Amino acid sequence: MELIVAKGREDLVKARRGGAVALVPTMGALHEGHRSLIRQARVRADQVVVSIFVNPLQFGPSEDFSRYPRTFDADLDVCRAEGVDVVFHPDAEEMYAADRQVSVSAGHMGSIVEGAFRPGHFDGVLTVVLKLFNLVQPDLAVFGQKDAQQLALIRRMVADLDLPIEILGAPTVREPDGLALSSRNRYLSDDDRQVALALSRALRAGAAELTPARVRAVAQEVLDAAGPRLATDYLALVDPATFAEVDESYAGMAVLAVAATVGTTRLIDNVTLTLNPS
C-alpha cells in the first residue's frame, strides 16, 4: 500500500483503517533508532503512523530549534522502507492555534534532572504528545528508552489522565563504538565524537557496580577522565518511575542518566541497572 502523508486531522481520519493503530512520534531526521521503534510498532499493530514534527514548545530560547535537522524527503524513504502506513507531518499552525491558552504541566517530575537544565521542556513534550494522541487516536505508542525521563513522564501522563493508550519503551540503539544514536550526532566532529564516547563508557562502568555510592563514583571517574572538553550537566542515579535520586539504601531497578555538551552539541544517555546495596 502506498505511504500516505497526512497534514491535518481530516487527512488522518481519511487514512484510518480498521484494526489496532500504533503511533511513533518523532521530530524527523530518522535514523536506525527510529527504525527500531517503527519495527516494534509494526509487530504490534495493523496500521503504523509516524509523526514528523519539530515541536517548538520543547526548545528553550537558547536551544537549537532552527538548527535541528530537517530531512523530510529522506525520512519518507525510511518510512517507506519500514512499511509505515501514514506519516503525519503537520505545520506549526495546524498544531498550535495563535491564541492557544492551555498546555500540559509536567509537574515536579518535569523540573528535576533533565528538566532542571531545560525549564519548560517537558511541558512542551507532554503538550505535543497529548495533542498527537488526540489527533491520531492510537491504541499504542512507541518511545525510545534513550529519552528515559521523557518516557517516564509520558507513562505518568497516561496514568494520571486515564488515557486509553499502551506505552511501549524500546531499547536504546547504539553505534558500534557505543555512542547512543541521536539526530544530533551529525554535529560532532571526529575529535568531538571521541570525547563523547565517555558518556557510554561512564554508564557501562557504573552499571557494573552494585551500590549507589560505587555506581556514582565509578561513572564520575570516567567522565572526569575525559577532560575539560566534556562539559557535564549532570550524572544522576534515579528511580525509573519518578526520576527522584535514590539514596544509599535503595535496592532494585534504577536509571543512571547523564547529560553533557561536547563542542556545541548537547547529548544525553542512560542505562538501566539493578542495585543491591546489601
Residue 147 annotated as lining a ligand binding site: yes
The set of residues, in sequence order, having a beta carbon less than 8 Å from that of 259 and lying 6+ positions away, is 114, 117, 232, 233, 234, 266, 267, 268, 269
Residue 184 annotated as lining a ligand binding site: yes
Residue 62 annotated as lining a ligand binding site: no
Residue 101 annotated as lining a ligand binding site: no
Residue 60 annotated as lining a ligand binding site: no
The identity of residue 96, as a single letter, is: Y
The set of residues, in sequence order, having a beta carbon less than 8 Å from that of 238 and lying 6+ positions away, is 113, 244, 245, 246, 254, 255, 257
Q: What is the DSSP string of 18-54?
A: SS-EEEEEE-S---HHHHHHHHHHHHH-SEEEEEE--
Please tell me the distance from the alpha carbon of residue 125 to that of residue 181, in angstroms, as a whole number.
20
Residue 169 annotated as lining a ligand binding site: no
Residue 29 annotated as lining a ligand binding site: yes
Q: Is the dihedral of CA 169, 175, 180, 183 positive or negative?
A: negative
Residue 262 annotated as lining a ligand binding site: no
Residue 31 annotated as lining a ligand binding site: yes
Residue 28 annotated as lining a ligand binding site: yes
Residue 30 annotated as lining a ligand binding site: yes
Residue 54 annotated as lining a ligand binding site: no
The identity of residue 67, as a single letter, is: R
Is 89 a catalytic site residue?
Answer: no
Residue 32 annotated as lining a ligand binding site: yes
Residue 145 annotated as lining a ligand binding site: yes
Residues facing residue 256 across a β-bridge: 237, 271
Q: Which of 34, 89, 108, 121 is the catalytic position?
A: 34
Residue 146 annotated as lining a ligand binding site: yes
Residues belonging to the binding site for beta-alanine are: 58
Residues belonging to the binding site for ATP are: 27-34, 144-147, 173, 181-184
Residues belonging to the binding site for (R)-pantoate are: 58, 150
Residues belonging to the binding site are: 27-34, 58, 144-147, 150, 173, 181-184
Report, as residue numbers or ranges, the catalytic residues: 34
